[in-house]
Chains A and B, each alone.
Chain A
Amino acid sequence: MSAGGTSPRRTQTPAGELAAAATRALAIPRRVLWRRFLQHGLAVFSLGLLLMLILISFSAPLIESYLGVDGDQVNLFAIKAPPSEAHPLGTDDLGRDLLVRLAYGGQVSLLVGLAAALCSAAIGTVIGLISGYYGGRIDALLMRFADGVIALPLLPLLIVLAAIDLQKLGLPAAITSSPDINLYRIVFLISIVGWTTVARLVRGATLSMRAREFVRAAEALGASPIRIMVIHILPNVVSPIIVATTLSIGSIILLESVLSFLGLGIQPPTASWGNMLTNALELIWDAPALVYYPGALIFITVIAFNFLGDGLQDALDPRSTKDSGLFS
């Protein structure tokens, strides 16, 4: 890996050189970050693995047409079939092709994971910025609220929220009967409990940014609070937000799988890795493969996101490479 960025490679005009130097100053941390990330073998491997999983999941229609099968086609004459040429992984308890179901399930799990992580991060960023920038009572109130959300037994509460009848909330039937409603609902549910980590992180970073000269200068120039938060503070706290968001994707995919498994998340016939396991306890007797594959895929995906987040975190933390234990 070349260190790069330490000396200008071309001779330039003074103005051009200045611009290049400024770009370099911004570019170096990111390049160094990337280099440090690449040293984290497990994280790089995880990134590759995830890209592969995403690629396979989203080529589900291609797999379908290649195999000449339809993922939604129930075939009661070929249930729990062993692997064959037409069904490389066999069929499920309704005779549907397992490989295709797994690929479509992967789309849902990955999409929900990414979407809910991004929404959580957005909510957390806004709350963290407000809390850190204004301080005082607003800060105390918002942070106590975050503490409260963290402390609650979330799964039982999420089960209640997932069981709510949307029509009783007064939502129009066009929305409540839309086929994607379960997808939106689960992203929404996870987002309203998942924002706390990013909020605390952004609040901490904002607190330290608020005292910096460039923020005070902007204040003195009469910039509005929103402008200061968005233009001056936010760009400086992006890296930790990215790390926290990556780290949260794993646990969000887990949560989605749990809710779908319990019958309160993604509803059949739409496949998700979680709802493919709903009647797993009956399947373990005669078709254990149907239990192994979806669970293993959740496990691999979640652990890969966790390794990826860990690698990014190490790359961001300047102390991490110097660290060695007392005994090692």
Chain B
Amino acid sequence: MLNYVLRRFAESFLVLVIMSFVIYGLIGLMPGDPIDLMISADPNLTPEDGARLRALHGLDQPLFERYLRWLGAALGGDFGYSRLHNQPVMEVLLPRLWNSVLLMGLSFFLALIIALPAGVIAGLYARSPLDHGINLLAFAGISVPPFWLAILLIMLFAVNLGWLPAGGMGSGGDFWESLRHLVLPVLALTLLTAGGIIRFARAATMEALRQDYVRTARAKGLSRTGVVWRHVLRNAMIPVVTILALNFGALFSGALITETMFGYLGMGKTIYDSILGNDFNLALIGLLLATLTTLLANLVADVAYGWLDPRISLS
């Protein structure tokens, strides 16, 4: 077990290193570079100054050498400065990472406690009107454009009813004010996430119901409720857990849109703004943190998988 976790850890680390190189290379391909930005900001700088600055910062070196230099600095704890925020990158990112974790955690939790029972019930009552109703809602959830859902929520709750703020974070650390600002983003992300989970849970439940041990359990006289609790649920949850973990990346993508729409200062919005604003250091570390979070979520899910399903040995 420990061996398995360690090996997966090493694998995740390897993926992270590869991704850091890929992202480093991609960021270099974005329009403009830091020196161009300095030159356009300061009319006293001549192109010759630009060339000297490039040499000074090592920007005339080949890609791989620049990457190694960056990696060395990053491993030493120097992640660079954010151009947009005039702060060290980590000081910008860490509070926002926490905001995102809060948004995604709450939404994921709410989506789970709504969608798992709904999906299982739909599977147990397959092809009944109840199933059709739940299924229709799930399809709506996976088909709605995320940014449009956010706009509709803003129109309903902020513009027409005036109950909740349309966006932002609330000021001054007032708990209730922050909570009020959190409601709409969480609602949007929950609705976006729930549809997929309902579909997975429904399919997994129907698959579990097809198994022979369900027929056997019924034949030996176990009640329907008993079969569900003892046999169906336990087996249905195994694929659901894996798929949920694999979908963490999708959750992050949904969070990016939700945060952008509601002006919520999370990782997704920060990454999006940093790419549009040519803030290379921030974009790079932001993307890597997002990748790291996703990899860790997958790791947790792998371990949970082995714990849920004793037939799988993790060695």
Q: Which residues of A contact B26 (CB under 8 A)?
A: 160-161, 164
Q: Do residues B224 and A326 form an inter-chain contact, with CB atoms below 8 A?
A: yes
Interface residues in A287-314 by Cβ distance below 8 A to B read 288, 291, 295, 298-299, 302-303, 306-307, 310
Q: Do residues B206 and A323 form an inter-chain contact, with CB atoms below 8 A?
A: yes
Residue of B nearest to A144 (CB): B11
* Interchain CB contact (< 8 A) of B125 among A153, A274, A306, A328: A328
CB distance from A308 to the nearest CB of B (A): 11
Interface residues in A160-196 by Cβ distance below 8 A to B read 160-161, 163-165, 168-169
Per-residue CB contact flags for chain B residues 245-288 toward chain A (1 = under 8 Å, else 0) read 01011101100110011000000100110011000000100110
Considering the chains assembled together, what is the distance between the CA atoms of A306 and B253 in angstroms?
20
CB distance from A258 to the nearest CB of B (A): 6
CB distance from A182 to the nearest CB of B (A): 15
* Interchain CB contact (< 8 A) of A159 among B123, B131, B249, B271: B271
Max count, chain A CB within 10 A of own CB: residue among B123, B147, B293, B294: B147
A136 in contact (CB, < 8 A): no
Per-residue CB contact flags for chain A residues 136-164 toward chain B (1 = under 8 Å, else 0) read 00000000000010111111110111011
Q: Do residues B209 and A298 form an inter-chain contact, with CB atoms below 8 A?
A: no
B27 in contact (CB, < 8 A): yes
* Interchain CB contact (< 8 A) of A160 among B27, B140, B228: B27
Per-residue CB contact flags for chain B residues 106-143 toward chain A (1 = under 8 Å, else 0) read 00000000000000000111111011000000011011
Q: Which residues of B contact A258 (CB under 8 A)?
A: 145-147, 257
Give the interface size bracket for B toward A: 35 or more
* Interchain CB contact (< 8 A) of B155 among A161, A163, A284, A298: A284
CB distance from B77 to the nearest CB of A (A): 24
A10 in contact (CB, < 8 A): no
Q: Do residues A277 and B147 form an inter-chain contact, with CB atoms below 8 A?
A: yes
Residue of A nearest to B246 (CB): A150
Interface of chain A: mostly helix, strand, loop or mixed: helix
Residue of A nearest to B260 (CB): A262
A319 in contact (CB, < 8 A): yes
B15 in contact (CB, < 8 A): yes
* Interchain CB contact (< 8 A) of B139 among A257, A274, A306: A306
Count of residues in A whose CB is under 8 Å from the partner chain: 48
Per-residue CB contact flags for chain B residues 14-51 toward chain A (1 = under 8 Å, else 0) read 01000100010011111110000000000000000000
A254 in contact (CB, < 8 A): yes
Considering the chains assembled together, what is the distance between the CA atoms of A163 and B224 in angstroms?
55
Asked, given contacts A160-B287, A299-B145, whether A328 binds B139 with beta carbons under 8 Å apart, the answer is no
Q: Which residues of A contact B252 (CB under 8 A)?
A: 153, 155-156
Residue of B nearest to A301 (CB): B143
Q: Do residues A284 and B151 form an inter-chain contact, with CB atoms below 8 A?
A: yes
A250 in contact (CB, < 8 A): yes
Q: Do residues A306 and B143 form an inter-chain contact, with CB atoms below 8 A?
A: yes
Considering the chains assembled together, what is the distance between the CA atoms of A326 and B126 in angstroms?
8
B210 in contact (CB, < 8 A): yes
Per-residue CB contact flags for chain B residues 128-170 toward chain A (1 = under 8 Å, else 0) read 1011000000011011111110011011000100000000000
Residue of A nearest to B290 (CB): A153
Q: Do residues B272 and A262 form an inter-chain contact, with CB atoms below 8 A?
A: yes
Q: Do residues B155 and A153 form an inter-chain contact, with CB atoms below 8 A?
A: no
CB distance from B152 to the nearest CB of A (A): 8
Considering the chains assembled together, what is the distance between the CA atoms of A169 and B287 in angstroms?
21
A133 in contact (CB, < 8 A): no
A325 in contact (CB, < 8 A): yes
B188 in contact (CB, < 8 A): no
A280 in contact (CB, < 8 A): yes
Per-residue CB contact flags for chain A residues 219-243 toward chain B (1 = under 8 Å, else 0) read 0000000000000000000000000
Q: Which residues of B contact A160 (CB under 8 A)?
A: 23, 26-27, 30, 275, 283, 287
Besides A156-B287, A295-B148, A327-B125, 7 more A-B contacts (Cβ < 8 Å) are A152-B249, A157-B287, A262-B260, A277-B145, A281-B154, A325-B209, A328-B127
Q: Pick 25 A–B contacts, CB within 8 A, sort by A.
A: A150-B246, A151-B248, A151-B294, A152-B291, A153-B293, A154-B249, A155-B268, A156-B287, A159-B272, A160-B30, A163-B31, A168-B28, A280-B151, A281-B261, A284-B151, A291-B148, A295-B148, A302-B143, A306-B139, A307-B139, A323-B127, A324-B126, A325-B124, A326-B209, A328-B130
B residues in contact (CB < 8 Å) with A: 15, 19, 23, 26-32, 123-128, 130-131, 139-140, 142-148, 151-152, 154-155, 159, 206, 209-210, 214, 224, 227-228, 232, 246, 248-250, 252-253, 256-257, 260-261, 268, 271-272, 275-276, 283, 286-287, 290-291, 293-295, 298
**Top 6 A-B pairs, shortest CB-CB distance:** A155-B253, A295-B148, A325-B126, A303-B143, A328-B128, A165-B31
